Chain A
Amino acid sequence: MDMTPAIAIRGLTKDFRVSGSSKRLRAVDNLSLEIHRNSIYGLLGPNGSGKSTTIKIALGLVEPSVGECEVLGIPSTNPAARTNVGYLPEAPYFQRFLTGRELLKYFGCLSNVPKEKIQKRIEYLLNRVGLEDAGNRRVGGYSKGMLQRIGLAQALVGNPDLLVLDEPTAGVDPVGAAEIASLILELKKEGKTVLLCSHLLSQVESVCDRVAIMGRGRLLMEGSVDTLTQEEGCSSMRIDQVSSELRGSVEQLAKKHGGLVSSPSRSLEELFLELANKKDER
């Protein structure tokens, strides 16, 4: 297996010129992170934290001001870096005049899917995202949830190694969101790497191996979900088949050694809000 990271970002800074003035706005500030292959990586942060800019830089849509970004070992400014990348943008806008099938064919051609395989691939993907009956309808008439699904299908059309999903469950009902989450987990099983941007923190928590939390363009915290959700001086363990006797004995033992027993861990959401509040206090 190739050991080069799926995405490697080193000292990345991006400044935008504010139109009509000489001022510059820093969207990403000295960001460094690595996303390993065959993992699900969550990128979190409030609006304006630099997540979207980071993704756009990784996809070659925006050039970095300072630093570098490599995708699958190739600099992101090189179009070749996108050969094995699928992207689902936030609130995806597609060519409304195309039908679902036409859209997938269009993106399939652009993703270098061989002509003889494209039809089969389209049917497979429509089936996989549950749009087999809507494939001949124009995308302009799709609901928000259907747009997300067709967006996922177009991201997958070239069978890429790396998927960049920006808010994949926005506008999708809870059942649909759960389906998308299980699809993401399946993709990992297939050996793919997923970079996930989401506001649904519980979802990120349930699927991601590692997460990075950004604020004002900076990396605030990065690590595995378990590590991040672990409170300092606290530890949680899972014991199956707990009887009331066993529970009483464990509690007694903890008290004996000066420990305090409470609910197992804080959620990622709690951590996120904590970090966001800290940022505001500063």
Chain B
Amino acid sequence: MAGIWLDVLDEIARTCNTHGRGDLLQTVRNKRAQLLDPKLRVLVVGEPNQGKSQLINAIINAPACPVGDGRTTVLPTVVQHAEAASAAVVQAPQVSGRPAAGTSAATLVERTPLALDQVAAGVSGTVGRRPGGGPAYVEIGLPRALLAAGLVLVDTPGTDQAAALGGAAEVAASTRADAVLLVSDSTRELSVAELDMLLHVTRSQPNVVVVQSKTDLVADWRAVAERNRQHLADAGVAAPLIPVSATLRLRAAATDDRDLNAESGFPALIARLQRDLTGKADHLARASVQAVARTVVEQLAAPLRAELATQEAEEQSGPISRLHAAQREVDELRRCSTRWQNTLADEMADLLSDIEYDLRDRTRQILRAVDEAFDTADPLVAWDTFADWLERSLVEAAEANHEWLIQRCDWIARRVAANFNRYGYDVLPPWSMTMPADLGDRLPDLERPRIDRFTTGQKLFTGMKGSYGGMLMFGLATTLAGMPMINPVSVGIGALFGGKSIRDEGKQLLRRRQATVKTAIQRHVDEFFVRIVRDCRDATRQVQRMLRDHFTGLTEELQEAIVQSFRSAKQEADTDVALRDQRQREIRLKMTRLAALYEQSQQLTGARSTPVLLEPRA
């Protein structure tokens, strides 16, 4: 029968190995050696003063462990078979790390033989122990039949804290025991601390028995036992409870009283220990292997489960999220490209109308000034100065206008470039637009308009024409007064008339000249306006084209980079997903194997009941 659980244990060891858990492997190997050892190691634990040492003495019917009041057992005590009674303090050397292997540790320990009358001092830790040494324990050998059968009893210092259990010495560790007896006396029910300790122990050691000691002391120990069983059931500890009285047992041994021995409750406990001893290779080992399988599978599965969980959590991080980021980047770039194009087109259209309006406004002001000037001035007199002024004004207007154009273009370029801000790539085009130096030369020449001069001949003729009518009119009138036609009066009147008509004619001519000049200037300014506007349009279009080319180039550059990173992110994500899938499959496979192993180990103890369960179905 031994084969089955051994196989499972070896399988567990192999699994530990494949998982690279050397620590667990060592535990399993220790367990294997321990299970193959025919001896039954029984650990006796419990709170102080519960009668643990007395229990051991009563089991083997010999005062092996010193019993006292207060704290007696300080060092763990191992009671085992020997041909002759002997005792020794065994102390491991002070180790900084763990011993490399179990074999070397055994050779390193220091054994100090104790005289038999010094056992009590040895167990209380006052004799035989080197200060500053490692954990020590006392070994007591006794020639007893029960011990010779392979029973090893380990007495421990009392503690009411689960964590402190076996903490000092490895010899008192519950994992190294085949059975654990928790001793609690009958004067009270199991305390919370004891239940905690039980829960702690049962995690690593399935074979736990609660021994309710000192039943001789109180009359209602049966009620206490009943309540204790209830407490155990409530706490979910599957440990049997055996009430015993060491006093009665020792008394029975002294007087050879079978009834008293039966009354002490020890036959049940010893029967249980003997059953464990003979059944060690079978059901006890199965249970142990099952427990080992449980702890090992739990320990191995925990990191795997954690890894699975983190992997699921990591879906949103790593390469996948980088891919998503790259995707977002591409979309963003597309949006950015539309945005800057719209900005450019809109701004350019605005610019054109603004520039045109500005120029028109400036020329209109010039024209108004011209109108005002030629309402009074005589082009004949003022032309030259005027022509200079006009040319200067126009050049000024054109320059101001152009200046503004340049500024606006610059501003537009910056605005468009701002769209690329987030790429840290807001490079302005190499700016080439400057004020053309020959702006003045490019203006149309102002031609001097043809201006009618009022010549002397014309004046004479006009004067003659005017004076004729007057002289005739007054000459005729004066003839009536008997004066000749040509008399001083008529001549004088004639002269007056002549002068007036010359003046009138002169004014008329002036007005005509002024009108002519105004028209000519208006035409000139119009021409100027058209030419400048055309220039501006050309310049604007040029700028627009240049900006478009520049930013298109920029966009393309960016796009190339972003798409490249997108592609690499995608590739990375793909490989990552593949890797992860593979890892998940591996983990699942490992988990399945662990589950199978666990199942196998469970069947070790379930084997006896499973066929019964299956039969009706089959």
User: A and B bound?
Assistant: no
B-contacting residues of A (Cβ < 8 Å)?
A: none
A-contacting residues of B (Cβ < 8 Å)?
A: none
